[in-house]
Every structure is written in C-alpha cells, then in structure tokens.
Amino acid sequence: MKKLFFNLLILFFFFVLSFNTKAQLKLDTVKAQRFDTGKMWAFDYPPIEYLKSTYGINVDEEWFEDVRLSALRLSNCTASFVSEDGLIMTNHHCARNILERLSEKGEDLIKDGFYAKTLEEERKIPNYYADQLVLIKDVTDEVLKAAETGATPEEKTKNKEAKIKELTDNLNKETGLIAQVVSLFNGAKYSLYGYKRYDDIRLVFAPEMQIAYFGGDYDNFTYPRYNLDFTFYRAYENGKPARTERYFKFTLKGIDPNEPIFTVGNPGTTQRLKTIAQLEYMRDIAYKNSAYLLDTYYNALEELKKIEPKRADEFEKIRVNIGNSQKVITTIYKGLLDPYLMARKKDFQRKLQEAVWNNPELKEKYGKVWENIEKTQMEMRKVGPKIAAYSINPRFTPIYFSIAKKLVDLAKELKKAEEERSPEYKAEKLDSTINSIYPENVDKLLEDTKLWIWADFMRMNLGDSDNYIQRLFGDKKGKEAANFFFKNSIFGNREKVMKLAKEGADAIMNSNDPLIVFIKETQEKLSDLQKLAREISNTTQVYDDMLGQVIFKVYGTSIPPDANFTLRLSDGKLASFDYNGTKAPLFTTFYGLYDRWYSFNKEYPWDLHERWQKIPADFDLSTPFNFISTNDIVGGNSGSAIINKNAEVVGLAFDGNMESIVGNFIYMPHNNRCVAVDVRAIVHAAEKIYKADKIVYELKEGKMKK
C-alpha cells in the first residue's frame, strides 16, 4: 500500500512538473498584439491613413479640426459642444460636486436633479471652466535641445523645465490662451497646446443621481448597465450664450453594428509604453500598496455596518467615495500579476530591444536604456516602501499618527524663540493650538479600524523585524496589533496626550511613547527619502524620454502615445463580449432598468426616483439605453462624445467594463469595452419624463428655439 502511494506521489510530482513546464513554454511563446498599446490617437498626428485602410472612410485634416474644436476639457473630465449656442454635454458623475455646490436652501439637486426652463434660470457655476484646444504646435526640437544640456540628470531636467516654462509663458502673453507643453511618446515628441478658456459656465439640465448612477457602486464597471449618466451646461461670453460654430450634432438614427464610431476625449493616464522593470515596480510596490489600503478599508467598512447598523448609510457613503478607486486599483494590480498579460508586455519590449540592438546607430545611443531604467527601479524599491510607511495618508492613516505629529511639531516650535515661531504657536494663540491637538470627539470605531489596517500596511512595507513595527505593534497583526498599540501608547487616551502637551517641549521630545519616537525619527528621515526619490525619478525621466525617442524611431505614429489627459480620438465598433458564461447584449433598454428595479425589491442602489416609478403611457421602454463598443477609453474619458464618421453624436461614454481596467497598461480588444449612454435614451427621457422641451429642441436642431 505504501509503495502504491509512493508511486502515485511520484506520478503526481511529474505531472505537476510537466504541467508547469508546459505553462512556462506557453508563456515563452506569447506574442504582443497589434493594438496592445491601444487606440488613443493624438490629434497632433491624425491617423488618416489608418482610418482609411481599416474602415474605408475618407476623413481629412478639416474633419479632425472640426472634431477637435467641438471637444472640450473640464478640470476632471471631458465634454463637448452640442449646439451653436454653447450647450455643453458631459457626464452626470462629472458634475456631482457641482450639483452639491449649486443646491440652494431647500434643494437637493443630487436627489431631484435640475432643469432650467429659461436662460435666466441657468445657474452659474463659480470658479469653473471648460477649455477648447485651438492651437497645436510641435516644439520637440526646442525642448529636447534644452533637455540635452547639463552635466547631470537634475540639470537636464531643470533646463527642460525652464524651456517649457518659457514656451508656455510666451504663448500666453502673445495670445491670451491657456498654454501647456505636452509630452508624447514618453518624451519623444513635445507639443505646445493653446486652449481657449470658457470661464462662465452655467448648469442647464441634470437628472437625479439615482437614474444617472443606477446600481451604484455594485454596478460600477459592469455591464449590462442602465445609467442615464449625462449633464448639460452652457458656455457664456459677455453675459450671453456663446456662439459656437463647431459642435457635434445629435443624430437619432442609431448605430449600425458594422459602422466605425469614435470617442473624442481626454483619457487620464496609461502606462502602456513603460518598461517591464517599471511595470514590476508598480506591481510590487505602488499598486500593491494602494490595492491593499483600498480593498481592506472598503471591505472593513461593510463589516462596520453590521457592528453599528445606525451608521450604515454613513459607512456606505465612504464606500461609494472610494469604490471607484478600489475597483480600478485592485483590478490593475491583479492584471499586473497575470503572467499572460505580462508575457505580452515582455514580448513587446523584447521586439523593441532587438530592433535597437540590430541597428548599430540606435544601439550606441539607446542600447542601455532598459538596463539603466531597471537600475533606477531597483533603487526605488529601497526607498518607496519606507516613504509609504513613514508618510501620513490623509485618507487611510489613523488620526493618532496625525495627533502625534502635531505634538512633535509643538515641541519643535516651543524650542524656538517666540519671534521665530509660526503664528499659531505664538503666545496669543498657543493655548488654542494645544487644545486642538487632540479632538474631543474622535470617531473611535472608524479610527481604530484604520489603525489595524495601517499596522498591517506598515508591516507589509517595513517587514516583521523592523524596529518601529516591533515597538508599535509587536508581533501582532490585524485587530490584535491595534490592541497591542493601545496597551503601549498613550494615544488612545486624550487626557494623557493633553497632559504631555502641556508639560512642554522637553517632556514631549524625551517621551518613550513608541508613536512619538516613530514620528520624531521618521519625519526627519522622510525628508531625505523624498529628496532621494525625486533624484531617482529625475534620472528615470531622462531614460524614459530616451525610451520614448527610440519607440518613436522604431514605430513612428503607427502606435499612439500614452494617455496624459490631452485630447485623443479612439476608433471602435459595437461588439459583445463573454461574461458569466453568457454574452453581453450590444444595447440595453429601459425594460432592463425596470427588471432590475423589481428584481432588487426597489431597494438602494436599485431604487428609482418617483418620477420614474410611474411613466407616461407613450414612453417607449424598448428605446436603446446603454451600449458597448471596442473604443479605447480610461479615466478622464468620462463625458466623451461618441460620434460617427459624419461627426454626429450617437452616444456619451461614461464607463468601461471590468475587463477594460487593465487598459491602464495593455489594451485587450477582445473584451475591453467602453460603456455609453445612447443619445436616443437621453432625448427620449428628456422629452417624456423630464418635459425638457427646450433642451430636446436644441439637441435635435443644434440651436436654441427662438
């Protein structure tokens, strides 16, 4: 029997070994694909020939100019003109804070929405603007020449920054435009952008949040979806609606599954052209840290609902505020852990390296770029974790660390002569400052939760044997680490902390409290670490610029540059994808909205405003509501118009599916989907539910009704 068991064990061992070997061989044969670097085409290099060869459509420079001037950039999202009278379209979730700011006494624009029936009712948004890209100028030679002067990476960086400032200052003085120098292809090309700024923006129409964000955080980054995620503003000039010659006209003809459609927007950031060493650093340090904090805190808040049910709404609001980031960061982190995806990135790098090493001229100048970047990333691995553990994060670090820092700051200030102290530490304000060090009402449940999360986060970065970890948390993890902390520190007791504060500088600085010692010693180290990190970053940037140059020399404009919140055009088509063992529909309808409403017992976040609970008899539930396409978008694209080849609006991008999130570093067209509101749903709802006849006319005709 033992012999049989032994033989089976040997057989199993060889099976596992064989399986792993095959898996490894399979990864070794993985190849990068044509669009791994995406389809976010820059308007600096319009892909005219690509669109012709791919879709058989003939668009020219004039078409691209018309599209560019119809698009707008907001401070956090994308928008576009959709009438000749300055009407602007963007997403509701881009306007959420605006609706909160503009709610007057007795109003709740988030809950009930807003519609201005007349121009006089359109509500001005303080300190808000929309930028229109009116000028693009290639300044590559000037910037690169400045960047090549200097003996050290720091000098090169300063010289480049000085040239960029000179270019932007000059354009602003000469034209009055908002100027920006944009880096493309990781620093291979530089463009000077000039934006016309519209700084009188007024709210026109927004639905209530419950229909705009139906399904809430649960449905975020999923599909099928049922979100009426739109808002309309209007740009004014000299107190009157702006006259905008370039705008996207609405079409209610719908979308043919075989026709190309285009998103026009400002994708935030991608890392598709980074080296493997850079991606591995992001994976092992940056994204790992962020994913841990977001994921652990997000899940802990759900548990707190059970501990204190009366505060469930409060905890849910915090979850909603971090939910989007939690899904994005954790999914990117998982993607970077995927051996197959990383194998495709490695093949892209390998092919690029071969192209360089097989060209003597390129090899001499760029041959060691990857080696040098790898060295900088190894240096950052020594620095990054300590910076993460020593820094006080406003969102995640428990309040006790901030209190300890205030205490140490107090001691440092008290050691100074009266006239040298900061204003809040001078005699007339000193008592008030001391009394504010430790708030009288600390949210113990929330802060103690943050404490055990932060304890494990610090341990993850510093290691079990680190002296600070041992003093603060011993060998304990999770909630036991928090208990250990309170047994050995005074910071769970306000009276003890305030007593120490009033004893003066020497008492504070000589305290053996582990948190005071930690703050006192690490805050001094942190400054040096951050300085070193900046130096490493500057060096990396020099090599990153060189990487961009060689990518451009090898591939030219056949691949797009990484996203950097500048205007891009992305092409795509309607396309389904597989999920949960089935297929996603190209379009959803209002029928699906009500199915979901009933299926979840009309409960949050699948509840509906009363105006949607009893709809008019002529409301067509079969109207296309949301749709999916292969257009390449990321954060920042929110509010992007989706247009057809005639530059007519067919949809409004507001999200992606879960599979689109890894688009941060690789575009996978087989399942990466853009999720958009169909304009037919916007117009139908505006007409039948909101009775917004003025807006309906303007959207259909492209101008206000006189």
pLDDT digits (tens, 9 = 90+) for 381-393: 999 999 999 999 9
Note the residue count of the chain.
Answer: 706
> Dihedrals φ, ψ of 290, to 5°?
-65, -40
pLDDT of residue 28: 86
Say if 460 falls within a structural domain. Answer: no
Which has the closest alpha carbon to 308: 415, 435, 300? 300
Say if 385 falls within a structural domain. Answer: no
Residue 706 pLDDT grade (very low, low, confident, very high; cuts 50, 70, 90): confident
Q: What angle do CA 404, 320, 586 make, to 5 degrees?
A: 150
Contact between residue 184 and residue 190 where contact means Cβ atoms under 8 Å apart: yes
Kindly report, residue by residue over 658-696, the tens digit of the pLDDT: 999 999 999 999 999 999 999 999 999 999 999 999 999
pLDDT of residue 558: 95
In whole angstroms, how far apart are CA 581 and each of 218, 426, 577, 578, 668? Answer: 20, 68, 10, 7, 19
pLDDT of residue 186: 87
C-alpha 662/C-alpha 36 separation (Å) is 11
Helix locations, 556-582, DSSP H: none
Tokens matching residue 570? 């992305």
Q: How many helices (H) and strands (E) does the chain have?
A: 27, 22
Q: Which neighbouring-strand residues pair with 133? A: 195
Question: DSSP assignment of 435-462, as one string?
Answer: HTSS-SS--HHHHHHHHHHHHHHHHHHH
Number of domains in the chain: 1
606 DSSP 8-state letter: S
Which has the closest alpha carbon to 705: 198, 119, 125, 161? 119
Question: DSSP assignment of 542-579, as one string?
Answer: HHHHHHHHHHHHHHGGGSPPPPBSS-EEEEE-B---EE
In whole angstroms, how far apart are CA 615 and each of 290, 367, 504, 619, 688? Answer: 44, 66, 68, 7, 8
Q: Tokens 């209002």 map to which residue?
A: 590
Question: How do beta strands 249-250 and 130-138 pair?
Answer: unpaired
Question: How do beta strands 674-678 and 261-265 pair?
Answer: unpaired
Question: How do beta strands 648-656 and 240-241 pair?
Answer: unpaired
**In the predicted structure, residue 255 carries a pLDDT above the cut 50:** yes
Kindly report, residue by residue over 492-532, the tens digit of the pLDDT: 999 999 999 999 999 999 999 999 999 999 998 999 999 99
Q: Which residues contact 314 (CB under 8 A, 6 or more apart)?
A: none
Say if 85 falls within a structural domain. Answer: yes
C-alpha 378/C-alpha 639 separation (Å) is 39
Kindly report, residue by residue over 308-330, the tens digit of the pLDDT: 999 999 999 999 899 999 999 99
pLDDT of residue 27: 87
Say if 225 falls within a structural domain. Answer: yes
pLDDT of residue 553: 96
Residue 153 pLDDT grade (very low, low, confident, very high; cuts 50, 70, 90): confident
Amino acid, single-letter form, for residue 415:
K
Computed from CA positions of residues 419, 421, 425, 429, in that sequence, does the dihedral angle turn out positive or negative? positive
C-alpha 621/C-alpha 271 separation (Å) is 41
Contact between residue 589 and residue 623 where contact means Cβ atoms under 8 Å apart: yes
Say if 444 falls within a structural domain. Answer: no
pLDDT of residue 45: 96
**In the predicted structure, residue 23 carries a pLDDT above the cut 90:** no
Say if 119 falls within a structural domain. Answer: yes
Which has the closest alpha carbon to 574: 642, 660, 668? 642
pLDDT of residue 11: 44
Tokens matching residue 702? 């492209």
Which has the closest alpha carbon to 202: 88, 86, 100, 123? 123
Helix locations, 391-443, DSSP H: 399-414, 427-435
Tokens matching residue 157? 């960086």
**In the predicted structure, residue 12 carries a pLDDT above the cut 50:** no
Give mean pLDDT, residues 54-64.
96
> Dihedrals φ, ψ of 563, to 5°?
-70, 145
C-alpha 143/C-alpha 180 separation (Å) is 13
Tokens matching residue 627? 């749709």
pLDDT of residue 7: 52
Which has the closest alpha carbon to 492: 626, 361, 401? 401
Kindly report, residue by residue over 412-468, the tens digit of the pLDDT: 999 999 899 999 999 999 999 999 999 999 999 999 999 999 999 999 999 999 999
**In the predicted structure, residue 84 carries a pLDDT above the cut 90:** yes
Tokens matching residue 150? 């200097």
**In the predicted structure, residue 643 carries a pLDDT above the cut 50:** yes
C-alpha 321/C-alpha 425 separation (Å) is 35
Q: Which residues contact 292 (CB under 8 A, 6 or more apart)?
A: 456, 457, 460
Kindly report, residue by residue over 347-398, the tens digit of the pLDDT: 999 999 999 999 999 999 999 999 999 999 999 999 999 999 999 999 999 9
Kindly report, residue by residue over 165-217, the tens digit of the pLDDT: 999 999 999 999 999 999 999 889 999 999 999 999 999 999 999 999 999 98
Say if 1 falls within a structural domain. Answer: no
**In the predicted structure, residue 67 carries a pLDDT above the cut 50:** yes
C-alpha 618/C-alpha 607 separation (Å) is 22
Contact between residue 679 and residue 651 where contact means Cβ atoms under 8 Å apart: yes
Q: How far is CA 555 from the centre of its chain?
A: 28
pLDDT of residue 235: 98
Amino acid, single-letter form, for residue 417:
A
Element (H, E) at 72: strand 71-73
User: Mean pLDDT for the chain?
Assistant: 95
Give mean pLDDT, residues 624-638.
97
Q: Which neighbouring-strand residues pair with 574? A: 629
C-alpha 351/C-alpha 362 separation (Å) is 14
Kindly report, residue by residue over 103-131, the tens digit of the pLDDT: 999 999 999 999 999 999 999 999 999 99
Q: Tokens 């009775």 map to which residue?
A: 691
Helix locations, 41-95, DSSP H: 48-55, 61-70
C-alpha 203/C-alpha 99 separation (Å) is 9
Would you call 367 helix, strand, or coil by DSSP? coil
Contact between residue 407 and residue 496 where contact means Cβ atoms under 8 Å apart: no
What domain range includes position 105?
74-129+199-254+572-627+672-701
Share of the chain above pLDDT 90, in %: 93
Give mean pLDDT, residues 218-225.
96
pLDDT of residue 24: 53
Say if 461 falls within a structural domain. Answer: no
C-alpha 669/C-alpha 629 separation (Å) is 10
**In the predicted structure, residue 18 carries a pLDDT above the cut 80:** no
Q: How far is CA 488 from the centre of its chain?
A: 39
Question: Exposed/middle/buried for 307, CB within 10 Å: 0-12, 13-18, 19+?
Answer: exposed
Which has the closest alpha carbon to 269: 326, 198, 329? 329
pLDDT of residue 17: 43
Q: Tokens 């960029």 map to which residue?
A: 164
